[in-house]
Amino acid sequence: MQNKAEKITDHRARRRWPGAVPALLAVVLALPAGAAETADDDVDGFAWSRAMLDVIEAGDAERGAELAEKAKCSKCHGEAGIAEDDETPSIAGQVPAYQFKQLLDYKTQVRDSRDMYKKVRRLSLEDLADLAAHFATLAPEPPAGPAEPPLLVAQGDKDRLLLACQVCHGERGEGMGFQVPALAGQKIDHFVETMTAFRDGDRENDEYGRMRFIAAQLSEDEIAAIAAYYAAERTPEDAED
């Protein structure tokens, strides 16, 4: 019989990534028992565990909306989680577990951002889960790229050991599983900056270094083409530059 965390894993994985349920469940269940027993606010960093999944699943979107208003998240990320400039990430519709992990990474300073650290340093794990749940309920911007995806998105490149972007991020860039973010509708300059940071080793909070490995194989033109496919339409101010 499945316990609560196992049911959460099974339900979300089947909905977002049907073929990967056994693998994802095995990862969660293989964690050391000590890692699964607690998920308190004294954590040094993020680790997948049954307890952490419980925290994320219990996120209260309504309370998250109140926290977002209090923290003035809209100042940077827009009233509906859609940024008003192309260098700031839109967070509407993002996968809750991924969003939660990023917030916790800022809180524990695994990700370096003075502004984000100041926003989240006093927030509890429950607060972070509530914020993630709130932004997950918001509709993302539609992507404005070409109808046909670039080869790297649709097919990857076996010579460079690169899986197609769609394999992990979904056929429509909607994100999959627990730790793979949605890409569709992201701000284009932020997308390019993120991939460049992974490529150059300036961002290191990708588990197992997967995105750093992928980005290191890509040229600037390839990054730009992937970003253009997934990204939302440029904001009017930036389009004029």
List the alpha helices (DSSP H) in the chain.
Answer: 4-16, 21-29, 33-37, 50-57, 61-71, 74-77, 96-107, 114-120, 125-136, 151-154, 165-169, 188-200, 210-216, 220-230, 236-239
Asked whether residue 95 carries a pLDDT value surpassing 80, the answer given is: yes
pLDDT in the model for residue 1: 52
Q: Which CATH number fits domain 151-239: 3.40.50.880, 1.25.10.10, 1.10.760.10, 3.40.50.261?
A: 1.10.760.10
Which residues have CB under 8 Å from 204's CB, separation 6+?
110, 212
The backbone region for 95, taken as left when phi is positive above 0, alpha when psi lies in -120 to 50, beta otherwise, is beta
Summarize pLDDT for 7-52 with one digit per residue, the tens: 444 444 444 444 443 444 444 444 444 333 445 556 667 888 999 9
pLDDT tier, 178 (very low <50, low <70, confident <90, very high otherwise): confident
Per-residue pLDDT reduced to its tens digit, 179-202: 899 999 999 999 999 999 999 999
Question: 138-160, pLDDT tens digit by residue?
Answer: 999 999 989 999 999 999 999 99
The residues of the chain that CATH labels 1.10.760.10 are 31-136, 151-239
Q: Can you give the pTM of this predicted structure?
A: 0.81
Check residue 103 and give its pLDDT. 97
Residue 4 has pLDDT above 50, yes or no: no
Is the pLDDT at 124 greater than 70? The verdict is: yes
Q: What is the CATH number of domain 31-136?
A: 1.10.760.10
